[in-house]
Structure 1
Amino acid sequence: MTLVRYLSLLLPAAALLGAVRGTDRATRAGAFLAFLAAALGVAALHELAGLGAWWGFAAVDGAYRGMPIDLWLGWAALWGPIPVLLHRRLRLPVTLGVLLWIDLLAMPRLEPLLTLGPHWLRGEFLGLLAVALPAQLLGRWTAADRQLYARVVLQMILFTGLILWLLPTAVLTLAGGAWPRLPGPALTVVAQVAAVLGLPAVAAVREFAVRGGGTPFPWDPPRRLVTTGPYAYVANPMQLSMVAELTLLAVVARSPALAAAALGAVAFSAAVAAPHERGDLGDRHGDGWLAYRHQVRDWLPRARPYRAIEPARIWLDDDCGPCAATRDLMAARTPVRLDLVPAATHPTTLWRAKYATADGYSATGVVAVASAFDHLGIGWAYLGWFLRLPAVHQLAQLITDAQIAPPHPAGGQR
């Protein structure tokens, strides 16, 4: 059994070291993300395998919730970074076929370390589709710099799973605790609070993709300095949400260990992430980054937006009652670097409100108004981040068009 465990980690590690030589930064970034995604997915698959009696492991030292850690890491390397590093030679369908072939050969031969149940192939095919495939897509798209929005969504799923499931589960397991069992109403309240705390992170990720052309992953960053959205108010919205979510879990689980993990996340951000961020962003964005950091704090949000927020305009129709009321609401709050312009002066015909910034970003309808809220203050900005969420803004636009302010022409040649 010791030899089997040794080989299960040594062989993928050797293949990984061989494949990484001579690769570019984007490919290495993709490989690392694929490893994280595969590691998270294999851990989740192990939990499902126990429920479905697909397979089980012998009791050994160095295990995580009954799964040998070396086998876990070897499996994650095989399903994640190794094929990504070879993505120019191995097409995705071929990769999945090879992974299936390896598992069909290897898994029955891992006894007595691994005991297979009668329906283990169900878990195998689920793992390939729900773990290996997303890991490969994320890694390959990152390596090739394609499908920005799709890889941002996959990164959000990945880091949410790592921070809100795998890390707390590991901490609770090591501390001898367990996830609390909450009644339905209490669970609903906790989920709603978690959604409120996580909104700045989601909005920040959206801002990175839409305004910066990049992702939250440090090796796949935005191409331009992002000072809009949550970044107009706080420099670390993602870390702030992460610590807040871990603190909420610590309170709900009554776990000092999770509280320590939240403090550890703050320490990591301050001691490791912050120096790297200062060096990297300072080199890439120079004086613009320094000016921004002089006015925007890491953890304590501003009440009003950063004064150098991207200047913008919003066109609203003076002849539309709801539009005029929206204009008056914004004007009364002294917006920062936002011009309120009559829609009648727009050179082309507008059917809904329009928001545009000097860097070329524009939006219409509900998203335009929600974007303008960034210039008013943190409370209104928070509402705007919510309204810009996928599905939320489509629903809000349908309601607005049907019940509040139907689309109508303004400006241009009519």
Structure 2
Amino acid sequence: MIIGVPKEIKNNENRVALTPAGVAEFKKHGHLVYVQKSAGENSGFSDEAYAKAGAELLPTIEAVYEIAEMIIKVKEPIASEYPLIKKDQLLFTYFHFASSEPLTYAMIEREAVCLAYETVEKSDRSLPLLVPMSEVAGRMAIQEGAKYLEKPMKGKGILLGGVPGVPPAKVVVLGGGIVGTQAAKMAAGFGAQVTILDVSLPRLRYLSDVMPANVTTVMSNHYNVMDAISQADLVIGAVLIPGAKAPHLITRDMLKLMSPGTVLVDVAVDQGGCIETCSPTTHENPTFIIDDIVHYCVANMPGAVPYTSTLALTNATLPYALQLANKGWKKACTENEELKKGLNVANGKILYKGVAEAWNLPFEDVETALKDLVYA
């Protein structure tokens, strides 16, 4: 198969979808790999390293899309990339369709095959391609939140861990999944007083067992969320419903419960956000203020630490990408239930229920669609 790796062009997205080591693995299996020049530069991987691993370097993004059968990316295509996508071309990347109607319609129109990292799902319901970036984002949420609590950043002027004789900051984490767990661990490590809320009692039991003493677990409901955020200095939104929009746990009216300078970090913003007043921002302009509350809503947080993120992402995606290349996407998705759940759009049809429901569009069962495509 011919693999294409374009340079990411989303604002301040510094990651790359494939490392030179990944190129070498594809070459070992007999595939051709084309990498756009300077695609890995911001992640610390030179063109020379890709060439040495066996990749062919192409000068433009247009050239990569033109030649490739499978495009491997980090983030969803942006508007300038839509015309470059060919019918039946396989795109393997994060899509988050439920948060972007234009992207959804564009991929339907282009009749591309869209296999989304974020909905590849194991039998235990874990999301193996979302986990590494969720780990990075969860940890970064505290790192960024601590920075924006500083007074020059319009925060309260509170040191996250306090000092002897001065109490630490109060951190509230909404959601006890991968992002929430990593955020709570980092905040606790800083010495903050942490409250983590989740709707699953078994998950809260687990977190109670593994978290340090400065982390308190609380059942998530409307009353408890309001109570927690009214005392918080830093709130982390870490709620995920795979492939669907995140629910709004904090509404506009609830901002008045918080004191001026409180910082909100909505890690779920690329899936619609779990804080109503949050909308996607960039690393260039990461925050905005509503009702004296600082909102940090960067949709590609791991892009700020591209070396770590690229290695972590490739470690997770490469085994799946090799299956797609070795077998072709139809056979790979037919034989592998995890990859099958990653199919969101193919042949101009939506194959993932959460995406169809987000935009009130027709939905075709992926099993039926695959049978029709394989035996067509």
TM, length-normalised to structure 2: 0.25
Q: Flag the structure with higher helix content.
A: 1
RCO comparison, higher one (Cα < 8 Å, 6+): 2
Whose radius of gyration is greater, 1 or 2? Answer: 1
TM, length-normalised to structure 1: 0.23
Q: Flag the structure with higher strand content.
A: 2
